[in-house]
Amino acid sequence: MIAIVLIGLYGCGPSKTVTRVEPEQQIDLSGDWNDTDSRLVAEEMIKDVLSRPWVGEFRGDKKRTPDVIVGTVKNRSSEHIPTIPFIKNLEKELINSGRVNFVANKEERTEVREERADQQENASAESMKRFQQEAGADFMLRGDITTIIDQEGGDKVKYYQVNLELVNIESNRKVWIGEKKIKKFVSQSGTKL
Amino acid sequence: MVIRIYPRKALWFCTAALSLFLMSCGASTEFYTTVEQDVSQGRYDKAIEGVRSNRSAYGDKSSVLFNLDMGVLYHYAGEPDSSNKYLFLAEKEIEDLYTKSISLAALSFVLNDNVLPYDGEDFERVLVNVFLALNYAEKNQPDEALVEARKVDLKLREYAKQYEGKNKYQEDAFIRYIAGALYESGDEVNDAFISYRKAYETYRTYLKEYGTPAPSFLLDDLVRTATLLSFTEETKKYLALGGKPFDRKSRSDGSVLVIMYAGKGPIKEEIRPTVSIPDSAGILHTFQIALPKFVPRFRGQRSYQVAVRSNADSTRTVGARTEVVQNVTAIASKALDDRLAMLYLKSGGRAVLKFLAAEKAKSSLSKDGDSKAKNVLGSLAIDLFVGVTEQADVRTWRTLPAEFQMARVNLPKGDYRMTVVSSDGAYTLRDVDVRVRPAKTSFIIVDDVR
């Protein structure tokens, strides 16, 4: 009897603690895509795209800085990845680079952008022209995110692949294609006492 | 000495037996009768309240079932956000339950499976993502719906590995079709064609295992998408199989996809087969074991006539009859059959353990040399304990429908009114507003879970 009471008391106590952390600190809880992934991928990929020859070629050709707009990043994965924060990260990196003119996409929400694009009967070409006319952009950055999951019992290996491309709106030609992979290992114990 | 020890032993044994017995009992299911009545009459708010107010009846071992019931009831009620909340809770809990408690597992070998938390049959776990996908489709969030469709694939592949590829339910034809419709609605015709084709192939298995053939309009979908992609070989193939030729002039037509839930899903009942096992001396010992078995509550033979009338021109009406695209009762029964072989072994093993323990307890009773009356009582108590603790786990997601049916109507863009009538005349849904947009699919979900 006494033993039971002691165990009961031991079980009581604070069950929640709060610790303040820096916004940039990497914290991986569930193994899902998180804000660290979003930030790191955006930084790396924008650094990559802006270091390529197309910027210089455009400047030499048109004698001005290119105007870039960020289009849709489609979630083609098996996880509910919030694409809007990722797009915002891409936009931030573009603006802060100072190497291109960032053109804001008037349709802030991805769903609205897709909705507008789909209203046309011939979606891609029409919406592209519209982006150019409305925003006066020279290039559009867009892409998708896919996942490959490999699972054995409680162990899971997740690959996220972010594919982006930069398209010259006038010529409809791709001037840059980039790809970034993230790999995560998530392990869940199969037994406990 | 002997006389003093015996009563204490018996007291301990009775207390232990009682508490273990209570723990091993299944949850009470009486409130379901009212809930199901409410569902069959479309009173979803009442049904939801009925489940919510009986949360304690689920106990702490069936909270997954509580979330599943709430999830599907909100789905029937046409409240996708609330439905998603509960379905995600169920999904997370099922995932967390992958970590199994060794002590509980050991206890289940001694008592029965009701001491284990219920973590869903494989087909129930997959249906969570099917309903999540349909909720997102209803909210016009096709990308998120497709995420759920992909999760169905991942789960089924994982389960097939556990059965070494020998189980029946390895692909879900219904969600493949829905994915096809979602892709096509998002102007991704190539992905749509691939999904439709996969659905068509999976329906061959469905026909063999569950008696569910591919819906007639699937061939038309294959011809249409193959034509749009200029896949001439494929177009010819599906035309030859009976698909309707597609006129490119109707490229800007949209479609209405009506998904109908028909009938009450199956429930589990206990069967008590006898099993005979010889011991090392060759003597045959016969026991009763308790196993669950799915019992259908809807025998089919009910379809629905969908009529869509143009608001602009009320003389223009297009009709279609729903076809069965997913037989939940059949899938459930086959899935349980696949699991039964393993259950039989476990149940049989448990029966042997209990028998041996009972025999030992009975023999130590008689060794104590007490009066015959006390011996008989003790013996009876032991037999009772063994008999009542052998109980099948009949927990199941009872609020599921028996069948998913579907009708597809392709129409020029515009506003329409839709009416649905059941073949037995007992169900009518009148004048639902439907907007058809060019080259897009409107998903309409209707429930007649009766």
Q: Which residues of B touch A78 (CB under 8 A)?
A: 147, 150-151, 153-154
Note the pTM of the prediction, 2 decimals.
0.85
- Predicted local distance difference test score (pLDDT) of residue B200: 98
Interface test with A, best of B12, B96, B116, B187 (most A CBs within 10 A): B187
The answer to whether the beta carbons of residues B260 and B420 sit under 8 Å apart is: yes
Q: What is the pLDDT of residues A77-115, one digit of tens each?
A: 999 999 999 999 999 999 999 999 988 876 654 445 554
- Predicted local distance difference test score (pLDDT) of residue A153: 76
* Pick from B169, B193, B167, B168: nearest CA to B180: B193
pLDDT band at A5 (very low <50, low <70, confident <90, very high): very low
Residue of A nearest to B132 (CA): A80
Q: Which residues of A touch B99 (CB under 8 A)?
A: 154, 188-192
Query: What is the mean pLDDT of the segment spanning A21-25?
Result: 75
The answer to whether the beta carbons of residues A38 and A59 sit under 8 Å apart is: no
Report the top-level CATH class of A32-187.
alpha beta
Continuous segment of H or E residues that includes residue A119: helix A110-119
Q: What is the pLDDT of residues A111-144, one digit of tens each?
A: 455 545 444 434 455 556 665 666 678 999 999 9
- Exposure class string for B400-423: b at 16+ Cβ within 10 A, else e: bbbbbbbbbbbbeebebbbbbebe
β-pairing, A191-192 with A173-187? unpaired
User: How does DSSP classify residue A63?
Assistant: S
State which residues of chain B have pLDDT below 50: 1-6
The answer to whether the beta carbons of residues B103 and A193 sit under 8 Å apart is: yes
- Predicted local distance difference test score (pLDDT) of residue A128: 60
- B101, B154, B438: residue with CB nearest A149: B154
**How far is it, in rounded angstroms, from Cα B199 to Cα B325?**
10
- Predicted local distance difference test score (pLDDT) of residue A113: 52
- Please give the torsion angle defined by the CA atoms of residues A100, A105, A106 and A110, in that order, rounded to the nearest 10 degrees: -160
- Predicted local distance difference test score (pLDDT) of residue A4: 44
Closest chain A C-alpha to B84 CA, distance in angstroms = 13
- ipTM rounded to 2 decimals: 0.81
- Predicted local distance difference test score (pLDDT) of residue A9: 46
Q: What is the pLDDT of residues B88-145, one digit of tens each?
A: 999 999 998 887 777 777 777 767 788 889 999 999 999 999 999 999 999 999 999 9
Q: Do B99 and A151 touch (CB under 8 A)?
A: no
Q: What is the pLDDT of residues B227-266, one digit of tens each?
A: 999 999 999 999 999 999 999 988 889 999 999 999 999 9
CA angle B108, B395, B113 (to 5 degrees): 5
| Region of B344 on the Ramachandran plot (φ > 0 left; ψ -120 to 50 alpha; else beta) | alpha
β-pairing, B254-264 with B441-448? parallel
The separation between the first and the last C-alpha atoms of chain B, rounded to the nearest angstrom, is 65
**How far is it, in rounded angstroms, from Cα B407 to Cα B251?**
20
Q: Where are the domains of chain A?
A: 32-187
- B102, B140, B147: residue with CB nearest A78: B147
The answer to whether the beta carbons of residues A87 and A73 sit under 8 Å apart is: yes
**How far is it, in rounded angstroms, from Cα B45 to Cα A180?**
47
**How far is it, in rounded angstroms, from Cα B142 to Cα A135?**
27
- Predicted local distance difference test score (pLDDT) of residue B410: 94
Q: What is the pLDDT of residues B179-202, one digit of tens each?
A: 999 999 999 999 999 999 999 999
Q: Per the structure block, which two tokens stand in for B138? A: 């209803």
- B99, B147, B440: residue with CB nearest A192: B99
**How far is it, in rounded angstroms, from Cα B420 to Cα B416?**
13
Q: Do B101 and A193 touch (CB under 8 A)?
A: yes
B398 touches chain A (CB under 8 A): no
Q: Do B99 and A75 touch (CB under 8 A)?
A: no
Interface test with B, best of A78, A112, A113, A191 (most B CBs within 10 A): A78
**How far is it, in rounded angstroms, from Cα A139 to Cα A141?**
7
**How far is it, in rounded angstroms, from Cα B43 to Cα B241?**
43
Closest chain B C-alpha to A121 CA, distance in angstroms = 7
pLDDT at A3 over 50: no
Q: What is the pLDDT of residues A76-85, one digit of tens each?
A: 999 999 999 9
Sequence length of chain B is: 450
